[in-house]
Structure 1
Amino acid sequence: MSTTSVERPAERLRERPPAGARGERWRRWGIGWAFVAPAVVLFLLMGGYTIASGFLLSFAKWNGFTPDWRWVGLGNYADLLYADPSLAADLRRAAGNTVQVMVAVPVLTVVVSLPLAMMLNSVTRLRAVLRSVYFLPYVTTGIAVYYAWRYVLEPDGAINLMLGSLGLGSLRQPQGFLGNPDTALPTLIVVLVWSSVPVATLLYLSGLQAINGNLIEAARIDGAGSWHVLRHIIWPLLRPITVAIVLLGIRDTLHGFQIFLVATNGGPGGHTDVFGLMAYRLAFMKGLAPSLGHASALGWLLFAGAVLLTLANARLLRRVQ
């Protein structure tokens, strides 16, 4: 028997922790699990049950009142995609509006928040105050803000009054900016951008403060102007933050519906209907005949979209790093 074969078991014996240490480790694990067990059990009872029942409900017909479900297999998904002309038309319209919001909100958020972050980064005095002012829209209660915007955008609201006082009466909207089919969705996009800019600005500001100033100084010594510094130094270094901001904006747009519910409820004429609002309306806003099966099926379609966005997020982050 070789020396190596004799030494290896001895080394394993020396590396193995004593029985007392193993017992102490198990005791610590037991104490830790005892503390987290109530939360885990509550999640399994509430979250796990909700997820499982919602998934099963997507294969059934149920209005929320009858004691039994009527199983239809993939019928709910087929109704949403093509089988039911009314639902399929609503889904296509909601898909078009959702895509517009998913593209416009992240792009405009980046366009607005990056210059704001650069301005805040260049300010030496009152930076904390200005940062708090820009962050205020994010910490304000969303529903209250949306109601305030709805009042501002009404026919007799502040926007129309301001346009009239400035001599821009031709830009006024007699129906209100949310009552005109041509301006309703763009107006809500502006409000969403307004609420998304604070977080994006702070993310960009943290990224700008992490950039080594020597890089920018060396570029300026070599004769690079402000545009070249932004394009060739700052923007590439902030690209991972930009990807995160864009994908977060897309995710929030895909699942969010509060502003569309409060401000327009999908109107006028469905011009502001989106996926999240359509699912909510199918489940809770159809009077005595809600279609919870269709709402659940649409929710799982949205979940599939969120999974695809997560995979895209991981792939893009690997590319830019």
Structure 2
Amino acid sequence: MTTLTVKDRAGRLREEPPRGGRPRGRWKEILTGWAFVLPAVALFLVMGLYTIGSGFALSFAKWNGFTPEWLWVGIQNYKDLLYADPSLAPEMRRAAWNTLQVMIAVPALTVAIALPLAVTLNSIRRLRSLLRSVYFLPYVTSGIAVYYAWRYVLEPEGSVNLLLRALGLGSLSQPQGFLGNPSTALPTLILILVWSSVPVATLLYLSGLQAIDPNMIEAAQIDGAAPRHVLRRIIWPLLRPITAAIVLLGVRDALHGFQIFLIMTGGGPGGHTDVLGLMTYRLSFFKGLAQTLGVASALGWLLFAAALLLTLVNARMLRRIR
């Protein structure tokens, strides 16, 4: 391949590659880049696509986890989860109902607490950085350690019951603990999830508040708008995209999160805190593998389909908001 010799504006001769071709050095850069990326791509193909594909295939089969043969059953695993199996279907319906409660309550309470908190923090001038660090602390703390600490606090002789009795509110204490009472176990876990979700939501709202033109708020205040009217008519509409993102994060955690339920209650008492993510984990590792590995995979794909549907709905709502 020959090169062309041309003159630049100063009259000096220089070489440039022929049109339509790539310089040899450019191809070297491309090959070098692929050499660095190829191991990560190969690892993703093996650990990612292969795992996803095999998991999807397993949802149509029964397998004990050891033998090379799979027993193909078609969509029977999905039927067993939804209605066919008299032991699995009621368990899934109960877990789905608990998941729905978490999926609605956690995002709603998170928004209701985080937005006023962010507005308050944004208006504070002194110690603003310190207060933000304090409110963000629950998010950066190790989740497992925090859950164990909460479980200890909520025991029958834990700090919450002792505090209620000391304040003369012994009627509100729970002799079996807040996690041992079927009527308080799930609401307690919801409150803990909200407590751990508020820091990120507050930080997102703070970033949104700082992007709002202060002249707009000042003009409303000059016109006599009360703080609640400014929050309702100006701040809230401008922060709707952030609210949609916070709701989506809460829905995701409700569908796929199970660590808090596993560590603090294990789905008890009597299945009152069982959720779909925990049910998938339990079917995979703690029941008869020959019967439930394929069922667990099917439940996982049902959760994926639900998450995908909710994500599409959220994306459509965001487009309408904008």
TM-score (norm 2): 0.92
CA distance 1:22–1:116, change in 2 (3 Å): same
- State how 1:175-194 maps to structure 2 within 5 Å: 175-194=176-195
Deviations 1:93-151 (A, max 9, x none): 00100000000000000001111111110111111111111111111111111111111
CA distance 1:52–1:161, change in 2 (3 Å): same
Contact 1:284–1:290 (CA under 8 A) maintained in structure 2: no
Residue 74 of structure 2 is matched in structure 1 by: 73
Residue 174 of structure 2 is matched in structure 1 by: 173
Q: Does 1:153 align with 2:154?
A: yes
Write the letter of the residue equivalent to 1:33. Answer: W
- State how 1:229-240 maps to structure 2 within 5 Å: 229-240=230-241
Write the letter of the residue equivalent to 1:314. Answer: A
Residue 250 of structure 1 is matched in structure 2 by: 251
**Secondary structure class of the residue paired with 2:274:** coil
Deviations 1:151-201 (A, max 9, x none): 111101111011011110000000100000000000000000000000000
Deviations 1:260-284 (A, max 9, x none): 0001111011100101000000001
Residue 283 of structure 2 is matched in structure 1 by: 282
Write the letter of the residue equivalent to 1:32. Answer: G
Report the number of matched residues: 306
Structure with the higher helix share, 1 or 2? 1
Residue 125 of structure 1 is matched in structure 2 by: 126
Cα offset, 1:288, TM superposition? 6.4
**Secondary structure class of the residue paired with 1:182:** helix
Contact 2:118–2:205 (CA under 8 A) maintained in structure 1: yes
- List gaps (5 residues or longer) in structure 1: 1-15
Q: Does 1:301 align with 2:302?
A: yes
Cα offset, 1:92, TM superposition? 0.4
Contact 1:61–1:292 (CA under 8 A) maintained in structure 2: yes
What is the CA–CA distance in structure 2 between the aligned matches of 1:17 and 1:316, rounded to whole Å? 51
What is the CA–CA distance in structure 1 between the aligned matches of 2:267 and 2:290, rounded to whole Å? 19
Residue 113 of structure 1 is matched in structure 2 by: 114
**Secondary structure class of the residue paired with 2:182:** coil
Cα offset, 1:21, TM superposition? 4.0
Residue 292 of structure 1 is matched in structure 2 by: 293
What is the CA–CA distance in structure 1 between the aligned matches of 2:183 and 2:294, rounded to whole Å? 33
Residue 135 of structure 1 is matched in structure 2 by: 136
Contact 1:55–1:300 (CA under 8 A) maintained in structure 2: yes
What is the CA–CA distance in structure 1 between the aligned matches of 2:26 and 2:254, rounded to whole Å? 46
Q: Does 1:268 align with 2:269?
A: yes
Cα offset, 1:32, TM superposition? 1.8
What is the CA–CA distance in structure 1 between the aligned matches of 2:291 and 2:61, rounded to whole Å? 13
What is the CA–CA distance in structure 1 between the aligned matches of 2:288 and 2:295, rounded to whole Å? 15
CA distance 1:99–1:163, change in 2 (3 Å): same
Residue 45 of structure 1 is matched in structure 2 by: 46
Residue 226 of structure 2 is matched in structure 1 by: 225
Contact 1:64–1:290 (CA under 8 A) maintained in structure 2: no
What is the CA–CA distance in structure 1 between the aligned matches of 2:314 and 2:34, rounded to whole Å? 33
Contact 2:283–2:293 (CA under 8 A) maintained in structure 1: yes
What is the CA–CA distance in structure 2 between the aligned matches of 1:189 and 1:284, rounded to whole Å? 25
What is the CA–CA distance in structure 2 between the aligned matches of 1:255 and 1:25, rounded to whole Å? 45
Deviations 1:223-252 (A, max 9, x none): 111111111100000111001101111011
Residue 96 of structure 2 is matched in structure 1 by: 95
Residue 63 of structure 2 is matched in structure 1 by: 62
Deviations 1:14-42 (A, max 9, x none): xx973564544333222222211111110
Q: Does 1:316 align with 2:322?
A: no
Write the letter of the residue equivalent to 1:26. Answer: W
TM-score (norm 1): 0.92
What is the CA–CA distance in structure 2 between the aligned matches of 1:247 and 1:50, rounded to whole Å? 26
- List gaps (5 residues or longer) in structure 2: 1-16
Residue 211 of structure 1 is matched in structure 2 by: 212
CA distance 1:314–1:288, change in 2 (3 Å): closer
Contact 1:138–1:199 (CA under 8 A) maintained in structure 2: yes
What is the CA–CA distance in structure 2 between the aligned matches of 1:234 and 1:254, rounded to whole Å? 30
CA distance 1:297–1:288, change in 2 (3 Å): closer
Residue 199 of structure 1 is matched in structure 2 by: 200
Query: RMSD of the alignment, in Å?
Result: 1.5
What is the CA–CA distance in structure 1 between the aligned matches of 2:302 and 2:18, rounded to whole Å? 50
What is the CA–CA distance in structure 2 between the aligned matches of 1:253 and 1:157, rounded to whole Å? 27
